[in-house]
Structure 1
Amino acid sequence: MGTWDVGPFDNDTAADFCAFLDEAAEADRPGLIRDALARVLDADDPLDQHLAVEAVAAAALVTAQCPGGQPVTSVYGPDLPIPVLPDDLRDIAVFALERVVAEPSELRELWAETDKYLYWLRTLQLLRRVLTFPAPQPVSRSWARIDTWMRQHAPASYALLAPPADPAEVEAAQHAMGMRFPTDLLESLACHNGLTHWANLLPDQPPMSVTGILDHWQMCVEIAGDDTDLTESSEPGEEPWWHPLWIPWAQSDGDSHIIDMREGPKQGRLGNAAHDDSGHFNDGWPCLATYLTAVADALDHGGEVDGDVPYLTAQGELWWTFANETGLNGEPLTPAPTTAAHSTRPRP
């Protein structure tokens, strides 16, 4: 099998599979994608590398139709359109990707012998991440769930959540920044105007007040100025250090969780802007509502968000960090209790 990169379509077998899809009737293509995923799940050990490659390509086609998914731009992908795929293929694609990276898998073994193994794993992890995004709930509903959890299990943390923002202050900030805030950010600010003190209450940076959002945005815009090295991408597909149509809704130590308000189908997505690096959205979220839904799900049912899981500190405060951590500053961390039995989340 000729392979030239880690992408889902960067090999001869995947290119042949996509050509096979192009030759099939449009109505038959969803069934062929389902078959490619199912063959991996039904295969004997060790998993054949060609079956695995076709399953990865099929999973990438499913991912491309999910919120937050990347469109297929590879010249080796299908030339003809893929019809709207059934929602149940998302779960099947997740199981297929898990089978591809599990032992015994010929494809995994082949990549493990190369210096691009971790990059290949990362590519599959990003596909899986998009496939498992929860169906977004209204932001007010997610905050209500988060509030309920904290009142019950971490009241000291709940006390740090600020009351709703003043609508007049929100309007003034939008005017000063020259853009309208997305609906989910407005809804979030109507629940909590950030925190009264710094706290590790979310898996990424803590949410800011309206004043904090405006101040951080103005600081970044002033630093970037007219310097094209900071405001323009150096390579196609890369992001600048800062763009004036990014809204920093959360921030810590100069690194911000940003909402992209540039025009286009990806408007409203979440990404990150580090104080000493360029912005990036590759491992972000399709919108703030999806992110907060995932946070509420992790508290209610268990699980991770952006690689972090919730704990309680010795003082009974909510703390997010890597899985399997046992302590913080010499004191024990306790896995956060859940408030509901695990249930299957609805798909969009």
Structure 2
Amino acid sequence: MGTWDIGPFSDDTAADFYASLDATAEADRPGLVRDALVRVLGSEDPFGQHVVVEAVAAAALVAAQYPGGRPVTSPYGPGLPVPALPADLREIAALALDRVEAKASEAAELRVLWAETERYLHWRRRLDLLRRVLTFPTPQPVPRSWARIDSWMQRHAPASYALLAPPADPAEVEAAQEAMGVRFPADLLHSLACHDGLTEWANVFPDQPPVSVAGILDHWQMCVEIAGDASDPSEPHGDEEPWWHPQWIPWAQSDGDAQIIDMREGPGQGRLGSTAHDDRAHFEDGWPSLAVYLTAVADALDNGGNVDGDTPYLTKEGELWWTSTNRTELNGAPLTGAPRTERETDSTPPHP
């Protein structure tokens, strides 16, 4: 059995699994994918390497059909198209990866293959990114997500809500696009039609706070000018992204670090990534669109949970504050968990 890399397509067992898909009638291929996922969920401990490899390969096929998923372009992947897979396989695939991660260090074959090697953390990282795609929320329209965020903040953090700016001036939006030479995606246009960033800095989002149209243009111009002094500033270096590209839109920014929307042509157009003032940009742990990100923020406020490891809290002054999960204080003052809309609704007595 040969294994030459850490990806889901880099193993003889995975190649054999994909070959079996090609040899199966198209209508029966979803069943093979399901079997590979269910097998790892129902396997007795400890399970063998082949069970894990097939489950990860199947999960990669499921993820490829959702926003943010990587297309299956490897020569070791299926040679024939994979038909649309049933929607329930998305959750099953995520559960299968959870089990793989939980049991990886216990299975003897996997300990030899990954857990006892220096590449184990890279392998786990690949699984985390794959699972991330499988658990992205189904995006709601941007105005709907903003309405949910607004409603929650009005009720629970009115001081923070007061810092949200009114809608942007459409003429200013158009002028910024002309100056940048970049057309804004529909998600960003809808967002700016709800709020033109914040009137002052506030920790009301898990990542950088959204900025105004003027702030977008200012940060973009600054980065373009700085990058202009570098050699090939918009060219990637191997698999690495450049420090800046003129077709990136800094929709959120703080202290020189920005959450950016990638408007380069290609399958990744519209995705969210991050760029720091002293590092290259990153997209692999970003979001497939602004709509997906705003949906995740609204879900965390309404239903609890976290966004990229940050959880919403209320400060002692009643302001919304996002920070790492399980934090209990901020600068010596207590933090309280943000109330859930869902919990409040569930606690309402039924009508007679």
Does TM, scored on the shorter chain, surpass 0.5? yes
* Equivalent in the alignment of 2:350: none
Deviations 1:267-299 (A, max 9, x none): 111111111111121011111011000000011
Once the two structures are superposed, the pairs formed by residues 263-278 of structure 1 within 5 Å of their partners are 263-278=265-280
Q: Say whether 1:46 aligns with 2:46.
A: yes
Q: For residues 304-319 of structure 1, what are the structure 2 equivalents within 5 Å? A: 304-319=306-321
Counterpart code for 1:303? G
Q: In the TM superposition, what is the alpha-carbon distance from 1:54 to its structure 2 partner? A: 0.5
User: Residue in 1 aligned with 2:264?
Assistant: 262
Residues 303-312 or 40-49, more deviating: 40-49
- Tell me the distance in 2 between the aligned counterparts of 1:228 and 1:64: 35
* Paired position in structure 1 for 2:348: none
Contact in 2 for aligned 1:47/1:100 (Cα 8 Å): no
How far apart are residue 50 of structure 1 and its match? 1.4
Find out whether 1:178 has 2:184 as its counterpart: no
Which residue number corresponds to residue 346 of structure 1?
A: none
C-alpha spacing 1:226/1:81, structure 2 compared with 1 (3 Å): farther
* TM superposition shift of 1:2: 2.8
- Cα displacement (A) at 1:145: 0.4
Letter matched to residue 335 of structure 2:
L
Q: Which residue of 2 aligns with 1:127?
A: 130
Equivalent residue for 1:232, pick from 235, 260, 264: 235
Using the alignment, how far apart are the partners of 1:322 and 1:5 within structure 2? 33
Cα deviations by residue, 1:90-131 (Å, 9 ceiling, x for unpaired) = 011011111111137526544221111211111111111111
CA–CA distance in structure 1, aligned partners of residues 14 and 312 of structure 2: 39
Q: Which moved more, 1:163-172 or 1:101-110?
A: 101-110
> Equivalences for 1:1-348 in 2 at 5 Å?
1-103=1-103, 105-106=106-107, 109-110=111-112, 111-225=114-228, 227-235=230-238, 237-341=239-343
TM normalised by structure 2 equals 0.93
Distance in structure 2 (CA, Å) of the matches to 1:280 and 1:133: 18
CA distance in 2, matches of 1:132, 1:176: 37
Q: Which moved more, 1:191-200 or 1:68-77?
A: 68-77
The whole-number CA distance in structure 1 between the counterparts of 2:164 and 2:286 is 24
How far the C-alpha of 1:226 sits from its partner, in A, is 6.1
Q: What is the rounded CA distance, in whole Å, between the counterparts of 1:114 and 1:302 in structure 2?
A: 37
TM-score (norm 1): 0.94
Secondary structure, aligned partner of 1:264: coil
Q: Secondary structure at the match of 2:260?
A: strand
- Taking the aligned partners of 1:238 and 1:85, their CA distance within structure 2 comes to 32
Identity rate of aligned residues, in percent? 73
* Structure 1 residue 47: Cα displacement: 2.7
Q: CA deviation at 1:67?
A: 0.6
Segment drifting more, 37-46 vs 20-29: 20-29
Q: For 1:81, what is the secondary structure of its paired residue?
A: coil
Rounded to whole Å, the distance in 2 between the matches of 1:256 and 1:283 is 14
What is the Cα deviation at residue 143 of structure 1? 0.6
Equivalents in 2 of 1:47, 1:201: separation in Å? 44
Of 14-23 and 180-189, deviating more is: 14-23
- 1:231 partner SS: coil
* Separation in 2, partners of 1:42, 1:342: 37
Q: Secondary structure at the match of 2:233?
A: helix
Q: Distance in 1 between matches of 2:119 and 2:323?
A: 27
Gap change, CA 1:198 and 1:96, over 3 Å in 2: same
Amino acid at match of 2:199: T
- Indicate if the aligned counterparts of 1:101 and 1:108 stay in contact, CA closer than 8 A: no
Consecutive unaligned residues of structure 1, counting only runs of 5 or more, are: 344-348
* 1:318 CA drift (Å): 1.0
> Structure 1 stretch 15-24 or stretch 291-300: which is displaced more?
15-24
For residues 297 and 121 of structure 2, the distance between their equivalents in structure 1, rounded to whole angstroms, comes to 27
Structure 2, unmatched stretches of 5+, are: 346-352
Moved more, 184-193 or 67-76: 67-76
